[in-house]
Structure 1
Amino acid sequence: MPNTACLSENRIGPPSSLKLIPRWHAARHRRRRQRCGDTLGSGAALMEFSKLREITVVVFTRLRRRVAGFGAELFAMQVALIIVVAAVFTSAAATAQVALVRDDAEDDIRALAISAASLPTVVEGLRSDDPTSTIQPVMDALRLASGVEYITVVDMHGIRVSHPDRSQIGRPVSTDHSQVRLGHEFVGTEEGTLGVTFRAKVPVRDAAGAIIGTLSVGMLESDLARDVADRTWQLVGVALAAVIAGSLLSWVATRMIRRRLYGVDPRELRTLLQTREGMIAGVSDGFVAVDASGRVALANRAAEDMLGVRDILGRDAASALPVELAPLVSGPTTVMTDAAPQRSQLRLGDRSLVVTLSTAEVGGRPAGVTLLFQNRTELERALADLDAQTARADAMRRETHEFENRMHVIAGLLGMGEIDEAARMLDTFPAGSRPGVRDDLTTVRPPVLAALLEARMASAARCGVTLAVSDDTIVEPSCACDAVTITIVGNLLSNAVEAAASRVEVYLSGDEAGLEIRVEDDGPGVPVDDRRRIFVEGVSTKPATGAGRGVGLHLLAGIVAGRGGTIEVADAELGGAAFDVWLPAGDGSAGPLGGVTSAPGARRASGTVAADAREEAP
Structure 2
Amino acid sequence: MRRAWWPRSLAGQAIALQVLVITIVVATGSILALIDARQDGDAAARQQVVSIATALADAPSTAAAIESHRATEILQPVTEAVRTDTDIAFITIMAPDGIRFTHTDPRQIGGPYIGTREPALRGETYTEVYTGTLGPSVRAIVPVRNTRGQVVGMVAAGITQQTLAQRWRDQVPAIAVVGLGALALSLVGVWAIRRRLLRQTHGLRPDELRVMYEHHDAILHSVSEGLIVLDRNRVVLANDEARRLLGLPPGEVKPEDLPDFLRSYEPGVRDELHVTEDRVLVVNRSKVAGSASGGQERSDRGMSESEVVTIRDRTELQGALGELSSLQVLTDSLRAQAHEAANKLHTVITMVEMGRPEDAVTFATAELALSQRLVDRLSDDVGEPALVALLLGKTAQADERGIALTITEDTHLPGASEGLPLTPQEIVTVLGNLVDNAMDACDRDDPWVEVTVSLDDDELLMRVADSGAGMDADTFARAMQRGYSTKSDGGTEHHGLGLALVAQVVARHGGKLTADVTYGSVVTVTVPRAA
- Counterpart among 308, 332, 357 of residue 265 in structure 2: 332
Instruction: Give the Cα–Cα distance (whole angstroms) in 1 for the partners of residues 42 and 211 of structure 2.
Output: 60
Confirm whether residue 342 of structure 1 aligns to residue 270 of structure 2. yes
Cα distance per residue 1:31-89 (max 9 Å; x no partner): xxxxxxxxxxxxxxxxxxxxxxxxxxxxxxxxx99x76222222222232223333444
Q: Which moved more, 1:269-278 or 1:248-257?
A: 248-257
Q: In structure 2, give the amino acid aligned to 1:162.
A: T
Matched, 1:163 2:90: no
Alpha-carbon separation, structure 2, partners of 1:255 and 1:170:
75
Query: Residue in 1 aligned with 2:35?
Result: 95
Which digits, 9 at most, give the CA deviation of each residue in 1:237-295, with x for residues without a partner? Answer: 322222222222233234334445565555544322221121123323x2233424265
Q: Helix, strand or coil: the match of 1:362?
A: coil
Q: Deviations over 1:475-503 (max 9, x none)?
A: xxxxxxxxxxxxxxxxxxxxxxxxxxxxx
| Whole-Å separation in 2 of the counterparts to 1:166 and 1:308 | 102
Matches within 5 A, 1:452-601: none
- 8 Å CA contact 1:118–1:204 kept in 2: the answer is yes
Of residues 181, 184, 191 in structure 2, which corresponds to 1:244?
184
- Offset of 1:97 from its aligned partner? 2.9
Shift of 1:113: 1.0
Residue correspondences, number: 308
Q: Distance in 2 between matches of 1:267 and 1:218?
A: 65
**Structure 2 residue corresponding to 1:214, chosen from 154, 177, 196:** 154
8 Å CA contact 2:227–2:241 kept in 1: the answer is: no
Partner of 1:131: 71
Q: CA deviation at 1:192?
A: 1.1
Deviation of the 1:298 alpha carbon? 3.6
Q: Report Cα offsets for 1:293-314 as digits up to 9, x if no partner.
A: 2655444334444555554963
Residue 301, structure 1, aligned to residue 228, structure 2: no
Q: What is the correspondence of 1:53-452 to structure 2 with a 5 Å cutoff? A: 69-261=9-201, 265=205, 267-284=207-224, 286-293=225-232, 296-307=235-246, 310-311=249-250, 314-316=253-255, 320-321=258-259, 326=261, 329=262, 331-333=264-266, 335-336=267-268, 342-344=270-272, 355=282, 357-363=284-290, 367-375=306-314, 377=316
SS where residue 158 of structure 2 aligns? strand
Q: CA deviation at 1:109?
A: 0.9
Give the conservation status (yes or no) of the 8 Å contact 2:144–2:155.
yes
Q: Which has the higher contact order (CA 8 A, sep 6+)?
A: 2
The alignment's TM-score, normalised by the length of structure 1, stands at 0.44
308 and 168 in structure 1: CA distance in 2 versus 1, 3 angstrom threshold: closer
Say if 1:379 and 1:147 are closer, same or farther in 2 by CA, change over 3 A.
same
User: Partner of 1:184: helix, strand, or coil?
Assistant: coil
Structure 2: any 5+ residue segments left out of the alignment? 292-303, 325-531
CA distance in 2, matches of 1:295, 1:213: 86
Are the structure 2 counterparts of residues 69 and 209 from structure 1 closer, same or farther at C-alpha, using a change threshold of 3 Å? Answer: same
Give how far 1:187 is off: 0.9
Task: Specify the SS of the correspondent of 1:342.
Answer: coil
Amino acid at match of 1:362: A
Summarize the Cα distance change of 1:279–1:153 in structure 2 as closer, same or farther, 3 Å threshold. Answer: same
**1:75–1:254: 8 Å Cα contact kept in structure 2?**
yes
1:350: Cα distance to partner? 7.7
Are 1:121 and 1:134, in contact at CA under 8 Å, matched by a contact in 2? no
Q: Report the 3-state secondary structure (helix = DSSP H, G, I; strand = E; otherwise coil) of the residue aligned with 2:254.
A: coil
Structure 1 CA distance, aligned partners of 2:222 and 2:285?
A: 20
SS at 1:183 equivalent? coil
Question: What's the CA shift for 1:375?
Answer: 4.2
RMSD: 3.6
Partner of 1:399: none
Structure 2 CA distance for partners of 1:270 and 1:206, relative to 1, 3 Å: same
- Who is 1:54 aligned against? none
Deviation at residue 178 of structure 1 after TM alignment: 4.3
Secondary structure of 1:162 counterpart: coil
Over the matched positions of the two proteins, sequence identity in percent amounts to 24
- Deviation of 1:171 after TM superposition, in Å, equals 2.0
For residues 288 and 183 of structure 2, the distance between their equivalents in structure 1, rounded to whole angstroms, comes to 40
| Distance (Å, rounded) in 2 between the aligned partners of 1:112 and 1:261 | 66
SS in 2 for 1:332: coil
Instruction: State the alpha-carbon separation in 1 of the partners of residues 235 and 74 from structure 2.
Output: 98
Q: Return the TM-score normalized by structure 2.
A: 0.50
CA distance in 2, matches of 1:210, 1:349: 108
Secondary structure at 2:113 match in 1: coil
